[in-house]
Structure 1
């Protein structure tokens, strides 16, 4: 029984939310559509799966497990009516770990103006700070949503229109303690490739973009991220020196304070993939055989982030999701 990691997909990133009406409105305004919903009334939570699904989208019409770049929103019943319930967005202590999701757009100025006109707030506008080619919008739970351009700024400066059907859910960023250990894990164990490295020596950090699929172009065109047109990338952010601090640890999002939950990889053959992970001596959060759900497994990465593993239903029928 074999498994082929080249058929794996970085399917989704899970975020806990307070109010599904507000969150769905925001992500649908960005152009995403609900491609699946799973309800668990006995356990008092619902899962909403959102993706770009227009005819121009990368995975248009695909089964939800045969996609990359999905955002899974987890709603625990009653949080919307609890004035004290608050999400940890991952960017401040004690919940620091997860950083953001990133949407790539056709015309970044027009896309940001559209969000601003709709009343949505920003952590960083295009005009803030030195980096004029990226912005960070805030979703209703104050998760950071990075906005990056698919084209050079000078090509889009005069553009007044933006087409949400061309947007991509480009990447999910998590902070890591030791880049050598983490990159080796995602390459050797999860079967990803390193698509791009961005060094910021003055800022004291490096960014590593990993994922499945074809290699990235070797050169950057006019400052545009060469993988901006992709979906389902994982960005690892390393702040220099953390690897030397024995006591340093990032927050996984699942202990209090809660927010980000996990990333999910879909595989060609779930049993074979889990057997391979067993051979790789991974740290399990949940084996397939644990608990009642026999169609889901969870691995822990070197920083303790959860990685869900499920079957790509296009490649092999397993679950009637």
Structure 2
């Protein structure tokens, strides 16, 4: 049986629950993404929509859904679109903070943000808000935050009127973590990611850590410099607020306990059985082993904060 090599792993997707799939798909299509796969489970009353950048210039153009990075999975439970009281937990409101945001990187940030605003969508933070004039946060139809950053010369906004969604990337997913050392060890030693960039903000009392997979083919075979992370897709951003590791009762919301919203991140692997055996040998914490339940082709690890990490085969 073939072995498994973490150098082949990919940060495949981020799953979020949505109220109305038509509205959500429309929003992410405005950002340039396409539905590359839809799975329907009428007996269990839910559907899954996988969206990714798939245009001619996209990094993963034409690849199978699980053999990519930078995918967003939307989960729709039937009937929520007609429930006036249904609302997701976007992960940014106390006392249920945990998941923070997804992020797309764009060619011209002013034009990209103007295009989103012109389409009628709201912002948590516009470019002109606050001190940081080089990032914005759009709100999707469920109130999830979508960070917008520039790919090139990202500290300058300029007066640019044109933007090409074909150049956009699903850059990263942000999770808040209680203990940076434990989380970095999990994602590096267990999941095989590399730490590409650390941003220390001592005055504000937090650090940001950007991790990802180098991959063994394509344009990215060397660790990116600080200014190159925005050009990539499939990164994981961990946000650590100083001191939380010393609070015995402190914990973040994993998105799967009520109230629900964010569901999981997913790593796709070269050999599913061998990868799961490796995780077993490393004494990982499991939410679901391959042998549990009816679905024998997916497993779920638990990271140090209790976030679910799905494990699937790249040839799904």
* TM category, shorter: over 0.9
Distance 1:156 1:96 in 2: 30
1:1-321 → structure 2 map (5 Å cutoff)? 1=1, 2-153=3-154, 157-213=158-214, 214-218=221-225, 220=226, 225-313=227-315, 319=316
Work out whether residues 269 and 275 of structure 2, in 8 Å CA contact, stay in contact via their aligned partners in 1: yes
Distance 1:73 1:154, change over 3 A: closer
Deviations 1:204-241 (A, max 9, x none): 100000110144333x4xxxx42101111000000000
**Separation in structure 2 between the aligned mates of residue 104 and residue 207 of structure 1, nearest angstrom:** 17
Q: TM-score, normalised by structure 1?
A: 0.94
CA contact (8 A) 1:3 1:268 kept: yes
The number of aligned residues is 309
Aligned partners of 2:37 and 2:50 also within 8 Å = yes
The CA distance in 2 between the partners of 1:215 and 1:131, in whole Å, is 29
* Contact 1:195 1:215 survives alignment (8 Å): no
Distance 1:204 1:290 in 2: 41
User: Gaps spanning 5+ residues in structure 2: where?
Assistant: 215-220
Structure 1 gaps, min length 5: 314-318
Q: Corresponding residue for 2:218?
A: none
Superposed CA deviations along residues 245-303 of structure 1, whole A, max 9, x for unmatched, are 01100000000010000000000000000000000100000000000000000000000
How far, CA to CA, are the matches of 1:193 and 1:263 in structure 2?
16
Provide the secondary structure at the position in 1 that maps to 2:311: strand
Task: Report if the CA contact (8 A) 1:216-1:226 is conserved.
Answer: no
| 8 A contact 1:100–1:145 mirrored in 2 | yes
TM-score (norm 2): 0.96
Question: Secondary structure of the residue that 1:172 maps to in structure 2?
Answer: strand
Aligned-partner Cα distance in 2 for 1:298–1:238 = 23
Ranges of 4+ aligned residues in structure 1 off by more than 2 Å? 153-156, 214-218
Checking the alignment, whether the CA contact within 8 Å between 2:272 and 2:313 is kept in structure 1 is yes
Post-superposition CA distance 1:19-43 (Å, at most 9, x none): 0010000000000000000000000
Note if contact 1:216-1:227 (Cα within 8 Å) is conserved in structure 2: no
